[in-house]
Structure 1
Amino acid sequence: MDSKLDAELSKLDPAVPFRASSTHLHHTWAKTFYSRPELYIRPHSLEEIQKLVTLARRCRRRLVMVGCGHSPSALTLTSSWMVNLDHCNRVLRVNEEKKTLVVEGGIRLRDLNLRANKMGLTMPNLGSIDEQSIVGAIATATHGSSTRHGLLSQSVRSLRIVLANGSAVRCSATQNEDLFRAALVSLGALGIIVEVEFEMIAACNIEWDQSLHSLPYILDRWDKDLWTTKEYTRVWWLPYMRRAIVWRADKTDKPLRAPVDSWYGGSVGFHTYHVLLWLSNYVPRILPAIEWFVFGMQYGFSNGATTSAVEELRTGLLMNCLYSQFVNEWALPLHKGPEAIARLSAWLNGDEAGSGIPFSSKGLYVHAPVEVRVSDTSPTSPRPFLDNTAADGPTLYLNATLYRPYNRDPPCRDRYYEAFEWLMKQLGGRPHWAKNFEFVSPAELKDMYGADLQSYLRVRADVDPEGMFVGEWHRRTILGADVPALPLEEREVRRRMMAEGGQMWDGEQRHNNNNAGNGDGHGSGAQTQEGRGRAQATADADKDKA
């Protein structure tokens, strides 16, 4: 550790540990990005968190929070100090009458549910995985797929946050409401959320079924009963087959009944699919045939093929993410869904004129499926300032997933995502904060969120005026050139391609950069960090092995 840190440590209570290492290599779950933090800090208590914040302020360091790193974006990258709360994972209080648990911010959703189940409780909704920390899940507007549920943060009743000045502040709908609304989708830029009060429901099972249908069937039932027949519904759209798998579930008292073994859930199918995706990087035109074969083996080759099971709610809502991937998901009003799918389908299948999308799809082939999910946060009050869902009705999420077979990027990515995002913006969509949106400027996000974004930025500036929790991702998405450079803000210096795939990210803080100015031109382009960074990354493979 450097002399400044040693000197500041000597001024603080030695009985409160500072658990830091200097050899950690961070990467996202998908290994899309890597970074080497100066220090990797793993506190075990509130006192340790307050101590590390005090040290960061005195040593002039940025702090970045990281959990499982499941976001494939550059949001969690840093060359400064990285903080992981995996050891802050206790259940602190239980209110059986209100069905609420107060938990530490580092608890993973999986562990939260396991502990709640022992009390006869469970989370009412989940996304596709339960590996995230509860704070990481709510910080980026994680959602499930149900018109009877909104964002996961809809169940948050109060929060406790350690701010840049070291104070631990509580907030809720009735206490520090603006801070609460900002922290419900914090993007990691406000402070360290150390406690969450979360409302559960009685533990239960769900019975689910999934069936294969034609795309016209899906679009015909869109405004009828597709999303309302059962409590939980999601759709996987197969663009070249013009079919979709519909998955529906309801709570049930029936005993558990295991699902049948799936094709790519087994070793042979898993590795066969992976190899086929790798081959498609070199021969993209085989992707329609891969879609037909793989999803035929997985779900059946004929419309109407159905499977079902009864599982616990905490596991039945989850899905296997399979391989490293890019994910580009957008939220738009549910009623825009048929138009969005019809136009994207036309474009992917070569009808550029019919799609109205001003980019060529010639020679472009993409991966399947396109994930289609829903939520409804419109009844929620107060709403998070950065809630990306529709305020006046149900929301549709379209997720354009692209796999990275053996950590190699697919050749279609740039053109596909530019066209996809253009369509989403035209239909009034907003990007999912944790995903790989690349062609959105701060000015466009300002227009999308209006006064809510300004309210978030006002709160952010009040609680962290020096930018202890601000990095390049924030500058190139929500801050732009309008917000002056902050003393502790970290900026990107370079990216290097790794021999294993992915990019090594290097940053520096503005107070260490003699050329730092008020904005450095950030936010003037049409792309965010991932898009520009790819162009800046060197072609030479990085020799620093992961």
Structure 2
Amino acid sequence: MESLTDQQVLAHSTAKHVHHTWAKTFQCRPELYIKPQTLEEIQNIVRLAHKRRRRLVVVGCGHSPSDLTCSSSWMVNLDDYNRVIKVDKARKTLLVQGGIRLRKLNSEANKEGLTMRNLGSIDEQSIVGAIATGTHGSSLKHGLLSESVRSLQIVLANGQAVRCSKEQSAELFKAALISLGALGIIVEVEFEMIDAGKIEWEQELVSLNHVLTTWENTLWTQKEYTRVWWMPYMKRAIVWSAEKTDKTLRPPQESWYGGSVGFHTYHNLLWLSNYAPWILPWVEWFVFGMQYGFSTGNKTSAVEDLRTGLLMNCLYSQFVNEWALPLSKGPEAITRLSAWINGEPGAGGIPFSSKGLYVHCPIEVRVSDTSETRCRPYLDNTVHDGPTLYLNATLYRPYLQDPPCWKRYYEAFEWLMQEMGAKPHYAKNFSYTSSEYLSEKLGEGLTQWLKVRHDADPDGMFLGEWHRRTLGLGTADIKYRLQEREVSRQKASDGGKLWVGEVTASAGPAAEAFGDVKPLNVRTRSESPGASSSASSFDMMHGAEAEKSILYNGSEYDDDEEGVRFHGNPRTRMTGTAVFDKM
């Protein structure tokens, strides 16, 4: 007979969900997909998952194109746990539930005259997903998004809700600021804002030589926000920069090519290049010439609200491979990669042939500075004693087809990044990097994170194959009963990979726990019995206990169509500025 707790979990769950990343690089079929609406539900899910010996993975919009969120076990989505709890205008903070998307967070803050101080390229992620993987923008005056987090509440593997901050349970806080989903379920975030305002942005087509010669003086410091899109075959770049302003809102100048025409033209040319890759240098010249002009010096500008002005269109399904290294090493890294891509003598010292290999553009170049971070996450992958450069080698998947160059390109790119001592972005597609390399580069920070993680989740309820492969979890002396292991990857009908896993200590079919709820018939799932306790050293930390929250009486929020322009879609009309105005 099912208990009341079992029924509460079942109330907002399904056994027929197919999860996939936004780019559709991976998909999986969780045994149970659960969308809780209260803190009590979340705690009951955790307790029942432990009772039934199931792994838990928390998912949001799926913008990480890797298998980080793949699971054949139980999947928790917090989209229905997404309200603003409290606004503190004096401290300029919002206390929000963990499932809130950045767009809603910014929209609600804007009603109070506040906004986020920094953003990445999109605002579709949940607040928890954004901070869990080290999301950043592009400014030497800002660091990671997690710098604005003042406190967190997290449900640990024993079902207990613990609040932490720099002052309270500091070790747990520093581990949770980049948690990789492996500590527990973050259910509340207190986030610090700034006064709402506008930015004036300008972008200019320049030579790559201009970028390199201004690198150490004005390129990154002239304005508060700066990012560069490098076109490797033309050896040019688009420099986008922005500063806060009080000027009247002004949209960018419209272009007949800047809407659906440009969007679909580039998409189809990329698809054609999968069969004739040698056309990619011409595609780069044509597509970006049509949008930005064929001569250097062309400029466009606009004045937008800060909360939308920092966003850009991600265009199409894609692989992304981004690494962090000292800003001072940027000219060397770009020069060497440029030489290799263009097949120049010496090829930048990269020991892989680039003959017959053609890549997509642009290569994204961004920066941050975390040297004065108030509370550094244990897994912070940035440079600690100076500015950080991020190089992102993007490869599109036109109509969900993998480009033929991706394996050799990424193997060479990752070799160069490792040779220069760089560290990968956790949410991206790095494929040729060992856990030993990451352990060496993360050093004591990883050691501390692993200790806190083990104390918080000794049975590995929140661990999957990605954690084993990337961080070495579950491969050494310590084995985790509930850690999920990958058993196969199969080709999916949409061109990605169908991921299948199993939990070592599986208690058998979910039907034993849920009556007529039928799990997927995965033949490789282990039927071996097992039992374990979930005692945690955080059990009585600071007398922590589940807290009931009074919801902030803000307005109801529904997604509107404006958001899709930053989410891989063109405007509905044929012309406009929505696609390439901010690549």
1:263/1:297 contact within 8 Å kept: no
SS in 1 for 2:505: helix
Q: Within the alignment, does 1:467 sit opposite 2:441 as a pair? A: no
Corresponding residue for 1:408? 401
Q: Within the alignment, does 1:243 sit opposite 2:236 as a pair? A: yes
Give the letter aligned to residue 494 of structure 1.
Answer: S
Matches of 1:405 and 1:483, distance apart in 2: 43
CA drift at 1:261: 2.9
2:147/2:375 contact within 8 Å kept: no
Q: Within the alignment, does 1:53 sit opposite 2:33 as a pair? A: no
Give the letter aligned to residue 301 of structure 1.
Answer: F
Q: Within the alignment, does 1:510 sit opposite 2:508 as a pair? A: no
Corresponding residue for 1:152? 145
2:505/2:528 contact within 8 Å kept: no
Gaps of 5+ in 2: 507-525, 531-583
Against the structure 1 CA distance between its residues 496 and 479, is the aligned structure 2 distance closer, same or farther, given a 3 Å change threshold? same
SS in 1 for 2:112: coil
CA drift at 1:17: 6.9
Matches of 1:224 and 1:264, distance apart in 2: 35
Corresponding residue for 1:12? 5
SS in 2 for 1:302: coil
Q: Deviations over 1:311-334 (max 9, x none)?
A: 000000000000000000000000
CA drift at 1:426: 1.0
Give aligned pairs, total: 510
Q: Deviations over 1:425-479 (max 9, x none)?
A: 1111000000000111111111011111011010000000000000000000012
Give the letter aligned to residue 87 of structure 1.
Answer: D
Matches of 2:312 and 2:281, distance apart in 1: 23
Q: Which residue of the other structure, out of 155, 160, 166, is the alignment partner of 1:162?
A: 155
Q: Deviations over 1:89-126 (max 9, x none)?
A: 11111111110010000000000000000000000000
CA drift at 1:352: 5.2
Q: Which residue of the other structure, out of 69, 72, 79, is the alignment partner of 1:86?
A: 79
CA-based RMSD of the aligned residues comes to 1.6
Q: Deviations over 1:29-83 (max 9, x none)?
A: 0000000001110000111101111110111110000000011000000000000
Indicate the structure whose relative CO is greater, using CA pairs within 8 Å and at least 6 residues apart.
2
Corresponding residue for 2:450? 457
1:263/1:298 contact within 8 Å kept: no
Matches of 1:346 and 1:405, distance apart in 2: 26
Q: Deviations over 1:468-503 (max 9, x none)?
A: 000000000012532533100000011111232101
SS in 2 for 1:511: coil
Against the structure 1 CA distance between its residues 263 and 434, is the aligned structure 2 distance closer, same or farther, given a 3 Å change threshold? farther
1:260/1:307 contact within 8 Å kept: yes
Q: Deviations over 1:399-428 (max 9, x none)?
A: 000000000000000000000001111111
Corresponding residue for 2:61? 68
Q: Deviations over 1:320-356 (max 9, x none)?
A: 0000000000000000000000000000000251401
What pairs up with 1:376-391 in 2 under 5 angstroms?
A: 376-391=369-384
Corresponding residue for 1:418? 411
Give aligned-pair identity as a percent: 68
Q: Deviations over 1:260-283 (max 9, x none)?
A: 235664111111111100010011
Corresponding residue for 1:23? 16
CA drift at 1:222: 0.1
Against the structure 1 CA distance between its residues 184 and 352, is the aligned structure 2 distance closer, same or farther, given a 3 Å change threshold? farther
What pairs up with 1:179-328 in 2 under 5 angstroms?
A: 179-262=172-255, 265-328=258-321
SS in 1 for 2:346: helix
1:238/1:370 contact within 8 Å kept: yes
Q: Which residue of the other structure, out of 338, 341, 347, is the alignment partner of 1:348?
A: 341
Matches of 2:232 and 2:52, distance apart in 1: 53
Q: Within the alignment, does 1:489 sit opposite 2:489 as a pair? A: no
Matches of 1:491 and 1:407, distance apart in 2: 26
Corresponding residue for 2:518? none
Matches of 1:514 and 1:76, distance apart in 2: 23
Against the structure 1 CA distance between its residues 498 and 352, is the aligned structure 2 distance closer, same or farther, given a 3 Å change threshold? farther
Matches of 1:389 and 1:17, distance apart in 2: 41
SS in 1 for 2:66: coil
CA drift at 1:510: 1.0
Against the structure 1 CA distance between its residues 483 and 103, is the aligned structure 2 distance closer, same or farther, given a 3 Å change threshold? farther
SS in 1 for 2:230: strand
Give the letter aligned to residue 487 of structure 2.
Answer: V
Against the structure 1 CA distance between its residues 489 and 236, is the aligned structure 2 distance closer, same or farther, given a 3 Å change threshold? same
Give the letter aligned to residue 492 of structure 1.
Answer: E
Give the letter aligned to residue 423 of structure 2.
Answer: R
TM-score (norm 1): 0.91
SS in 2 for 1:278: helix
Matches of 2:99 and 2:366, distance apart in 1: 27
1:323/1:404 contact within 8 Å kept: yes
Matches of 1:38 and 1:17, distance apart in 2: 12
Matches of 2:301 and 2:425, distance apart in 1: 30
1:161/1:194 contact within 8 Å kept: yes
CA drift at 1:15: 7.0
2:36/2:78 contact within 8 Å kept: yes
Against the structure 1 CA distance between its residues 119 and 208, is the aligned structure 2 distance closer, same or farther, given a 3 Å change threshold? same
Matches of 1:350 and 1:262, distance apart in 2: 35
Matches of 1:451 and 1:262, distance apart in 2: 51
Against the structure 1 CA distance between its residues 40 and 209, is the aligned structure 2 distance closer, same or farther, given a 3 Å change threshold? same
2:122/2:311 contact within 8 Å kept: yes
Matches of 1:263 and 1:502, distance apart in 2: 34
1:388/1:431 contact within 8 Å kept: yes
Q: Deviations over 1:126-161 (max 9, x none)?
A: 000000000000000000000000000000000000
